[in-house]
């Protein structure tokens, strides 16, 4: 699956290719290379551990945007059954950067909504690179309200560079759409679990992210601005992305320390893109646990729990 590999992944991928070649050779020539492949396996595992143990913030940001990383529809495929996609905001159109609909997780019905990026060029354009228009946020809100009406929990998957900055988006009220979602999501009487699966790009991600639980995959990021944008504004230089990524404290590991999120979800070693099915399986198990816990709460409890959680966000001194 890994078509593209990032610079820090290169040494790992190189070794893996070597192992593959040895295997191929032993199959072809009937020679036993098992001791060599075993050694190489050990070596590649150690290397993977070493590389992934000390990832920088910028490296994580690049993993979060990895072109092979599983997207919402991949998770839907691998972790749900009976998905029925629903379309449109009932006002202007259907946004392809956000998908949503009914789905079953372990046989239990949920409303699943997530940002969607495209894989190939054509698909990328169709999904507008995961950058939603106001219609996307309005569709998401419509589906959340429907979930509330029919007593279904909501699962949202966050993965966007940000809300789309364009003329049409502004004309049709990008800000209003995001603002309304933030307000309405805080008072929806059904469980909401939000998971950052890749890029949590500012307000465009948050507009799906007001949950009773906010979780992040191990190599995902969640930020007020992209490292590139931050570097351009505060450092006046595009070369400072690494510094900006570190300063912004946008990794899951940073954000659990800052009490912004509730839990980090482990990814398969090497990142979710190395084993998408396995990543989805882990996510499914985590979701099942949270949904079961939240399922015990009444509508009123869920709303006051969510509001209380949002209310505590921030860090201030009184005098």
Residue 244's alpha-carbon distances to 78, 151, 202, 248, 257, in angstroms, are 35, 42, 15, 6, 19
Q: Which two tokens stand for residue 61?
A: 């940001």
* One of 206, 264, 283, 291 touching another protein (CB under 8 A): 206
**Is there a contact between 213 and 176 (Cβ–Cβ < 8 Å)?**
no
Question: How far apart are alpha carbons 91 and 99 in whole angstroms?
Answer: 17
Q: Does position 280 bind another protein by CB under 8 A? A: no
For residues 279 and 283, give the distance between their C-alpha atoms in angstroms, rounded to a whole number. 6
Residue 300 engages another protein in binding (rule: CB under 8 A): no
- Are 140 and 105 within 8 A, CB to CB? no
Does residue number 239 form part of the binding site for another protein (CB under 8 A)? Answer: no
Does residue 313 belong to the site contacting another protein (CB under 8 A)?
yes
Size of the chain in residues: 319
CA 73 to chain CA mean position, Å = 12
**Cβ–Cβ under 8 Å, residues 279 and 286:** no
Q: Which stretch binds another protein (CB under 8 A): 35-43, 108-116, 173-181, 269-277?
A: 173-181
**120 torsion bin: left (phi>0), alpha (psi -120 to 50), beta (else):** beta
The window from 18-26, 138-146, 205-213, 285-293 that contacts another protein (CB under 8 A) reads 205-213
CA distance 277 to 137: 28
* Contacts with 36 (C-beta within 8 Å, 6 or more apart), sequence order: 22
Nearer to another protein, 161 or 270 (CB): 161
Count interface residues toward another protein (CB under 8 A): 55
Is residue 314 within the footprint of another protein (CB under 8 A)?
A: yes
With vertex at residue 258, the alpha carbon angle to CA 9 and CA 163, rounded to the nearest 5 degrees, is 65
The tokens for 26 are 């032993």
Q: Tokens 């729990």: give the residue.
A: 305
x/- contact string, 243-262, with another protein (CB under 8 A)?
xx--xxxx----x--x-x--
Q: Does residue 234 touch another protein according to CB under 8 A? A: yes
Q: Which of 104, 119, 180, 281 binds another protein (CB under 8 A)?
A: 180
Closest approach of Cβ 136 to another protein, in Å?
13
**Distance from C-alpha of 202 to C-alpha of 225, rounded to nearest angstrom:** 6
Using the minimum distance from each CB to another protein, give the nearer residue, 183 or 292.
183
Minimum distance of another protein from residue 155's CB (angstroms): 18
Mask for 259-278, x = binds another protein (CB under 8 A):
-x------------------
Q: Quick one: 80 or 115, whose CB is closer to another protein? A: 115
- The answer to whether 132 touches 204, Cβ cutoff 8 Å, is yes
**Alpha carbons 229 and 162: distance in angstroms, whole number:** 12
Shortest Å, Cβ 302 to another protein? 14
**Sole binder of another protein in the list 7, 29, 32, 171 (CB under 8 A):** 171
174 counts as binding another protein under rule CB under 8 A = yes
Contact pattern from residue 134 through residue 163 relative to another protein, giving x for each residue in contact according to CB under 8 A and a dash for the rest: -----------------------------x
- Applying CB under 8 A, among 167, 239, 296, 298 the residue interacting with another protein is 167
Q: Is 106 in the site for another protein (CB under 8 A)?
A: no
8 A C-beta contact, residue 136 and residue 175: no
CB 159 within 8 A of CB 196: yes
Task: Give the binding site for another protein (CB under 8 A).
Answer: 163, 165-167, 169-176, 178-180, 182-184, 186-187, 202-203, 206-207, 209-210, 222-225, 230, 233-236, 240, 243-244, 247-250, 255, 258, 260, 307, 310-311, 313-319
């Amino acid at each position: 699956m890994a078509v593209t590999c990032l610079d820090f992944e290169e040494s790992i991928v190189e070794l893996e290719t070597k192992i593959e070649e040895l295997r191929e050779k032993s199959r072809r020539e009937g020679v036993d290379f098992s001791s060599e492949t075993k050694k190489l396996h050990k070596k590649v595992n150690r290397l993977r551990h070493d590389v992934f143990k000390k990832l920088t913030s910028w490296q994580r940001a690049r993993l979060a945007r990895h072109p092979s990383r599983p997207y919402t529809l991949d998770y839907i495929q691998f972790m749900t059954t009976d998905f029925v996609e629903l379309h449109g905001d009932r006002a202007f159109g259907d946004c392809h950067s956000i998908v949503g609909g009914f789905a079953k997780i372990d046989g239990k019905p949920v409303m699943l909504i997530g940002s969607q990026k495209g894989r190939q060029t054509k698909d990328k354009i169709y999904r507008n690179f995961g950058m939603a228009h106001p219609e996307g946020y309005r569709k998401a809100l419509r589906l959340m309200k429907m979930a509330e009406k029919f007593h279904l929990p909501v699962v949202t998957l966050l993965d966007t560079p940000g809300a789309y900055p364009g003329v049409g988006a502004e004309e049709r009220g990008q800000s209003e759409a995001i603002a309304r979602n933030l307000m309405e999501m805080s008072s929806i009487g059904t469980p909401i679990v939000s998971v950052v699966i890749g890029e949590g790009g500012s307000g465009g991600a948050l507009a799906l992210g007001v949950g009773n639980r906010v979780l992040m995959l191990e190599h995902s990021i969640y930020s007020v601005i992209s490292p590139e944008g931050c570097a351009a504004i505060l450092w006046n230089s595009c070369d400072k992305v690494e510094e900006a990524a570190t300063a912004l404290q946008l990794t899951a590991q940073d954000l659990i320390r800052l009490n912004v999120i509730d839990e980090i979800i482990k990814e398969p070693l090497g990142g979710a893109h190395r084993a998408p099915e396995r990543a989805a399986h882990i996510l499914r198990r985590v979701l099942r646990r949270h949904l079961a816990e939240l399922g015990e709460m009444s509508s009123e409890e869920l709303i006051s729990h969510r509001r209380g959680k949002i209310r505590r966000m921030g860090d201030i001194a009184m005098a």
